[in-house]
Structure 1
């Protein structure tokens, strides 16, 4: 069985709202073995909606729509769904009673236009919506199955779990499990990853392997289809072992793990603590770390240096020595790492010396250096320097990613001084 998702709403095409519904629906459908072949977005226009839904029913076994079920003039989904399946809209008394009950419970006035939400295409299976006032429905038409759900994400998710997925499972009978595992890498380019595992990508059909590049991060997605969760996990595990054998040092985590959550876990496991001194990252390293549960036990503190005076205070240099000191240098990064570690009483200190961006978001030079240093427990330093160009947001994100990966590798002994 294959499906198409149609997301409805002019606000989506205008960029006023980001569509998260389609991603959720696609993931849930894939879990039960329904492959999503197409996703369409259409505005609140009757002609275009009719065209999109008609085409979707021609090329998919199941079409699921999201949005356009409200009480206003531009909520057209139920009318168009009835037209493309050759049906009339009929009032469903039970749905009307449920909608009126919700208004009464919320002590809100029930206006006449809300009655239209209780109309569904003739012969459709109603889906009550206790989370809101826009019910859904399922049409089993000659062209295929058409399912309409509200656009409010909370309501859509509830109806997917309680009505749509159970319905589709019954239609499928014995269905296959589709499971994925995502391996996450930093400090390596997409082309390098592709080159390392290209033969696995080309020869593996179940599981399959796909690559996805983010800013400073590469994801390797391994997806298996099987009759049971255990069989799918076994298939994934066998291929994952081959991938890890080739890229072990570069893989920092999997699935829902983040750089910061992995780093906090490693600090806990190795009984280490960390303090950081940031410049051109603007406090992003501290921000990401402090959002991780358990951070209080391993993070001793962080400072963000914004001007020469703050540099001088942390570096603890005399006026003469400070005047002759190159602030953007490896030596500064090392001294920052040492001083912040000492001031905060941590076992590891991270120092970053880099150019801060101008107010318009552009860096001072097309490519300027960022110097990073980690002061280790034994007293040695691990250092790196990177030349990065681009807007402030890009530089902050990339240097933060580099620093977190550098710390991970240092703790594991993968980085040498």
Structure 2
């Protein structure tokens, strides 16, 4: 790296309330977010304390981050999760999917901390270069793990020798180190025990990474480094309101004690606020329950979950399941994104009765079997109602949602209840790409959530 090309703007790491935006260090091909001064490395087995945190670095891989397609949510999640355990993030870097650039980033990171966490790049594609780069950087070779091979074969319903080569790559683990099971995907987490540092690689998809951190990494680090137990925390998940709107209500209506750390993150039109205390006593938990009641009083209409694991899709599935109802989805403008999200929720197989996706409303009509003569004379809104009726009738008569075609960034949506009442409303599709359709799905799920009260 060319040290002459560094531009440094130091951020304030001492604030109790913080967000993903900190001070920035820009290196050729690398973006780093610094949280303050570096502290000396800790010997393994020491007790975590507020006066001697364990420093670590984060390296987030992904060309799409550097191109502005997606925001980095990994840094916020990792720092928020590990800080109460006695870890201190001293830097976060975003790098391209390039072996040499990742190795340059690792040289930088391991010079600052003995623990480095790398996210992304463990999948089966040519762009997934993290496994190779870490093996080259550490000099630790990789071997297939028989248990991971068997696990993957069972996942795909084939014999181990029937797995494609690009999938088998994901069963390779370092011979000096260990791995973390991925219960939500195929790529295991990797731990490289190098002389210079412990380097941990985590999968990129947030659903996989977050579960792996909570279920396995926290316990692993506690065993290896003698870190403490988490303090108490409360996560409230919002939809239908922006981050600034929530901040305004908290500032004006809710009294926050100075020792409560507030962090927030947002993606796809959804906002998470986490309130943390350094200890986990009965009194601390009671304080957070009182805080939840205060926030619910003013913002309860926008809160869909009070834990970090429940997604908006899961919240909708839970409401339908509690009522004993089912749901059919028929999509044109959202291209199946609504059904795809709902299908990933637990118990979706009991609730999601059917999903239909077509390129046009006419194709959807044929798919659902709406008579051509009724379609020809129906107005636009009446056509949506006809589609909603057929979708419900074909799947047992529960709830149905029909997403119409996009017209100038807007589309009509029909939601039909089991009683036969149909609500038709407009939704916006500001970007015709996967991120735009995720935001559209958020709008649709929020509307359905409210109708299910």
With the shorter chain as reference, the TM-score category is: 0.5 to 0.7
1:290 equivalent in alignment to 2:343? yes
Q: Tell me what 2:314 maps to.
A: 261
Q: Tell me what 1:88 maps to.
A: none
Among 287, 301, 304, the residue aligned to 1:235:
287
Deviation (angstroms), 1:305: 2.8
Among 388, 394, 397, the residue aligned to 1:343:
394
1:301 equivalent in alignment to 2:354? yes
Helix, strand or coil at the partner of 2:278: strand
* Distance in 2 between residues matched to 1:71 and 1:271, nearest whole Å: 49
1:310 equivalent in alignment to 2:367? no
Q: Tell me what 1:135 maps to.
A: 193
1:248 equivalent in alignment to 2:319? no
Q: Where in structure 1 are there 5+ consecutive unaligned residues?
A: 57-61, 79-95, 107-127, 138-146, 356-363, 413-417
Deviation (angstroms), 1:149: 0.7
* Distance in 2 between residues matched to 1:248 and 1:73, nearest whole Å: 45
- Contact 1:208 1:222 (C-alpha < 8 Å) held by counterparts: yes
- Contact 1:21 1:151 (C-alpha < 8 Å) held by counterparts: no
Helix, strand or coil at the partner of 1:206: coil
The TM-score normalised by the length of structure 2 is 0.60
Distance 1:133 1:201, change over 3 A: closer
Distance 1:284 1:64, change over 3 A: same
Deviation (angstroms), 1:188: 2.0
- Contact 1:178 1:223 (C-alpha < 8 Å) held by counterparts: yes
Q: Tell me what 2:439 maps to.
A: 398
**Higher alpha-carbon Rg:** 1
Helix, strand or coil at the partner of 1:341: helix
- Contact 2:59 2:92 (C-alpha < 8 Å) held by counterparts: no
* Distance in 1 between residues matched to 2:58 and 2:93, nearest whole Å: 6
Q: Tell me what 2:57 maps to.
A: 6
Distance 1:304 1:53, change over 3 A: closer
- Contact 2:191 2:201 (C-alpha < 8 Å) held by counterparts: no
* Distance in 2 between residues matched to 1:183 and 1:332, nearest whole Å: 39
Deviation (angstroms), 1:129: 3.1
Mapping of 1:201-216 within 5 angstroms? 203-216=256-269
* Distance in 2 between residues matched to 1:256 and 1:75, nearest whole Å: 35
Q: Tell me what 1:93 maps to.
A: none
1:411 equivalent in alignment to 2:431? no
- Contact 2:370 2:387 (C-alpha < 8 Å) held by counterparts: no
Deviation (angstroms), 1:49: 7.0
Deviations 1:308-346 (A, max 9, x none): 243256372434x534545xx433332222221122222
Deviation (angstroms), 1:275: 1.3
1:33 equivalent in alignment to 2:86? yes
* Distance in 1 between residues matched to 2:132 and 2:403, nearest whole Å: 55
Helix, strand or coil at the partner of 1:178: coil
Deviations 1:45-95 (A, max 9, x none): 9998777666x4xxxxx652358xx999995679xxxxxxxxxxxxxxxxx
- Contact 2:412 2:426 (C-alpha < 8 Å) held by counterparts: yes
Helix, strand or coil at the partner of 1:370: strand
Deviations 1:113-154 (A, max 9, x none): xxxxxxxxxxxxxxx7355895345xxxxxxxxx71134449
* Distance in 2 between residues matched to 1:46 and 1:276, nearest whole Å: 46
